[in-house]
Amino acid sequence: MIAYALRRLLGAIPTLLMLITLAFFMIRLSPGGPFDNERTLPPEIEANLNARYHLDEPLAMQYARYLGNVLRFDFGPSFQYKDWTVNELISSGFPVSATLGLLAMALALVVGLSAGTYAALRQNSWIDYGVMTIAMTGISIPTFVVAPLLILVVALSLGWLPAGGWDWTPARMVMPVVTLALPLIAYISRLMRASLIEVLHSNFIRTARAKGLSERQVIFRHALKPAALPVISFLGPAIASVLTGSVVVERIFTVPGLGSHFVQGALNRDYTLVLGVVVFYGMLIIVLNFLVDLIYAWLDPRIRYDRRWS
């Protein structure tokens, strides 16, 4: 198990390097400098700015410097928010985004796994068709459509919840969390349904039935765990999807999370901020994927022991 973890960890290093390199050069090779929209700057001020952001150094040097800084978790100053460093923006926004993301993930797992299991056990019943149609709707209606509609109905018409804003109270968390969770619930329930149906057709389930186990025991002791494995491997993409979704959700519900900062940065062409957030999220995804792999290996004995697997 430890050997497996180490191997996975080693495998993540090229991914991390690729991430930083791609992001860095994409920004640096862009047409036009970061101060293009302030073209009237006197040359000495522009030189000053360039020196401050190390834009006067050769590209290779800038890259090495950036790489070094990133590995020390230093993403440099923001281009647009003059008094802020990217680190400060991340540490102010990320706790908010992480709270929303974790809650959404937990909600999605609980609802998605139960709905998928329920549908699989009543395959081809009306309940099954109902759950699957709702799930398909959840996949097909984008977050940025669901969110305004929720605000329109729940906040503006019914007045049950505040339409937006942030103060760490549950009332303000409900709608963003639900919006973030909906597409995940849809995916997880479809995944769980399909995989449970497949597992229920497998030979070892027949063996369990032949042993005289009750249907309940067959499902709980033998079917659920293998059926949940594809859902576990989906958690990696799910994390990425929550991060992406948070960009929209935070904007619509005016939540001061990292996603909001990111969009603002993108619209303002705040290069260091956008680069910093992309790299930060990339690193986060890599680390979380690593954890997901470990959970998967812990659940699936065949991976834990098989040395050829990598």
Window 206-245: contact mask with other proteins (x via CB under 8 A): xxxxxxxxxx-x---xx--xx-------------x--xx-
The full length of the chain comes to 310
* Pick 127 or 213: Cβ nearer other proteins: 213
What is the contact mask toward other proteins in residues 8 to 47, using x (rule: CB under 8 A)?
A: ----x-xx--xx--xx--xx-xxx----------------
**Contacting other proteins (CB under 8 A), which of 10, 136, 171, 295?**
136
Q: With binding defined as CB under 8 A, does residue 194 bind other proteins?
A: yes
59 binds other proteins (CB under 8 A): no
Show the tokens assigned to 74: 């230093």
- Which of 99, 266, 296, 298 binds other proteins (CB under 8 A)? It is 266
To other proteins, the closest distance from the beta carbon of 70 in angstroms equals 15
- Smallest distance, Å, CB 26 to other proteins? 6
Tokens coding 190? 């479809």
The single residue among 2, 126, 203, 307 that binds other proteins, judged by CB under 8 A, is: 203
Q: Which is nearer to other proteins, 85 or 264 (CB)?
A: 264
- Report if residue 7 touches other proteins, rule: CB under 8 A: no
* φ, ψ of residue 77 in degrees (nearest 5): -80, 160
Q: By CB under 8 A, name the one of 70, 251, 255, 292 that touches other proteins.
A: 251
Instruction: Enumerate residues 6+ apart whose C-beta is below 8 A from 113.
Output: 188, 189, 192, 228, 231
- Name the amino acid, one letter, at 256: P
Pick out residues in 104-123 that bind other proteins (CB under 8 A).
123
**Smallest gap, in angstroms, from Cβ of residue 44 to other proteins?**
27
Dihedral sign (CA 243, 245, 248, 253): negative
Size of the site for other proteins (CB under 8 A): 76
Site for other proteins in 273-302 (CB under 8 A): 274-275, 277-278, 281-282, 285-286, 289, 299-302
* Options 9, 71, 156, 295; binder of other proteins; rule CB under 8 A: 156
Residue 237, SS3?
A: helix
Q: Are 52 and 296 in contact, with CB atoms under 8 Å apart? A: no
Half-sphere exposure for 277 (CA within 13 Å, toward CB):
28
Near other proteins by CB under 8 A: residue from 152, 171, 291, 295: 152
Give the CA angle between residues 2, 224, 113 to the nearest 5°: 100
Q: Which H or E element spans position 179?
A: helix 170-200
- The separation between the first and the last C-alpha atoms of the chain, rounded to the nearest angstrom, is 12
Backbone angles phi, psi at 202, to 5 degrees: -85, 160
